[in-house]
Structure 1
């Protein structure tokens, strides 16, 4: 059985996402959860509810530069453009990362098991260098893994390749040079427009290798301010179903915490 990790992103974004993630954790169908530590309900509701699963799954920071939770925030395209033009302010990026790490630790009561990025901003030029600097300074005595987005199957085209060349491959090389743990292959990238999500998941499992990380975005219900709300519900229904467990078994894969594979 090939051990892989399954990580749900966007915890604390809204109650539907939290409910879906918590239920799937209770069923043993997730092994990592990535959290918005500056979301309005993180400290008071989301983090306390998640603490019961700290021994069951890796709990990490979903570093965020583009979601304002009602306040102004730059668009993803704006952040990408600034990254490509090398015009991101390194002091502001570092201050924001430190702020979000502080909020994570204050709410959850321990250091994050891993760090990734909302819309993968952590891998962009001008951000990944700050990330490695902060990890080295802040977590020298802790094993923390960082998500890389290099596709598990090099033949996958479209969005997976865009992520690879939008900093994913560079981050993977930087992590290796810095001896920071990371996943071995990445999956879960698609256009959030597939009614047959199970078919997508099977394609990803076809590329399973020890240490592969699959990201997902489940939720029990759709919220109107969420662009991928309907797809979240489809993902949740799949992961809750017997079909999901049957597919894992048929594909000779099992879910584990990535931290248990990179130690």
Structure 2
């Protein structure tokens, strides 16, 4: 009997909106995803955290660190002077010039971790970032330092959103985004491992710029050319008014939810020789 490749299929954005949270929880209950990351600065986290209670021990439940959507959980006079996070482009430009206030970022990381533990009852199984902000300069160091001070080294893993150039080129979907994130994440895996944290090896699931590509082709590409300990990200959910006010990508969330809940998805896993796991290499 040939053993199957373990793959973490992580649904991002739990807590972003009620419809997203409900869709993720339903897919997790059905065994169609194996991890989810929670945005704990959003009001939807407090409302929907109880949905994860019966899923403890069955899926990986982590912190989806957020510095670009909604409001911070505390004052950030330099990064968010109006009480609202900057868009990704603004944050990225400041981070690349090392003009992000490290003390403010670390304080917000601590608050989001505290909010996770307060409503989930235990530390996160992993940490990643909304729009991959956790790998940005200044942010990554603040994150590693905060997690280390809390004694989390060896207890949780951090998501590396990069992959090898050959694997990216062989996937026909999302190459441009994948290469941009790969450049931003340069050195991240080494920093993580040097600090005593585990990470994945292989990452995919970038959405295409061409919105006409069918969802089954997107997932087929994401589950191809997998690394030794791969993570595939996804963004399923139901569309509601709360989501409409936050995110223009509505159809893709609905289509991903429908595909993952269909018979086509387990058929893809069987074809790829993959099984879902809550942690890399698990």
Under a length normalisation based on structure 1, what TM-score does the superposition of the two structures give?
0.93
Tell me the residue number matched to 1:228.
249
- Aligned pairs, how many? 259
1:21-170 equivalent positions in 2, closer than 5 A: 21-43=24-46, 45-68=47-70, 72-140=84-152, 143-151=155-163, 153-155=167-169, 157-166=175-184, 168-170=185-187
Cα distance in structure 1, aligned partners of 2:281 and 2:189? 19
CA contact (8 A) 2:6 2:281 kept: no
Q: Which region of structure 1 is more displaced relative to structure 2, 23-32 or 199-208?
A: 199-208
Contiguous gaps of at least 5 residues in structure 1 = none
Cα distance in structure 2, aligned partners of 1:206 and 1:215? 13
Tell me the residue number matched to 2:6.
3
The Cα shift of 1:178 comes to 1.9
Cα distance in structure 2, aligned partners of 1:220 and 1:109? 26
SS of corresponding position for 1:169? coil
Say whether 1:189 aligns with 2:206. yes
C-alpha RMSD of matched pairs (Å): 1.8
Contiguous gaps of at least 5 residues in structure 2 = 73-82
CA contact (8 A) 1:32 1:257 kept: yes
Under a length normalisation based on structure 2, what TM-score does the superposition of the two structures give?
0.87
SS of corresponding position for 2:67? coil
Cα distance in structure 2, aligned partners of 1:139 and 1:21? 29
Say whether 1:253 aligns with 2:269. no
Cα distance in structure 2, aligned partners of 1:17 and 1:140? 28
Q: Structure 2 vs 1, CA of residues 5 and 78 (structure 1 numbering), >3 Å: closer, same or farther?
A: same
Q: Structure 2 vs 1, CA of residues 232 and 140 (structure 1 numbering), >3 Å: closer, same or farther?
A: closer
CA contact (8 A) 1:8 1:21 kept: yes
CA contact (8 A) 2:7 2:281 kept: no
The Cα shift of 1:154 comes to 4.2
1:206-263 Cα offsets, whole Å, 9 max, x none, are: 21234200000001235422211111001111100000000100111110111663xx
Cα distance in structure 1, aligned partners of 2:88 and 2:101? 16
- Runs of 4+ in structure 1 over 3 Å off: none
1:109-165 Cα offsets, whole Å, 9 max, x none, are: 000000001111000001001111111111346511000011251425311010010
CA contact (8 A) 1:208 1:253 kept: no
CA contact (8 A) 2:62 2:126 kept: yes
Cα distance in structure 1, aligned partners of 2:201 and 2:155? 16
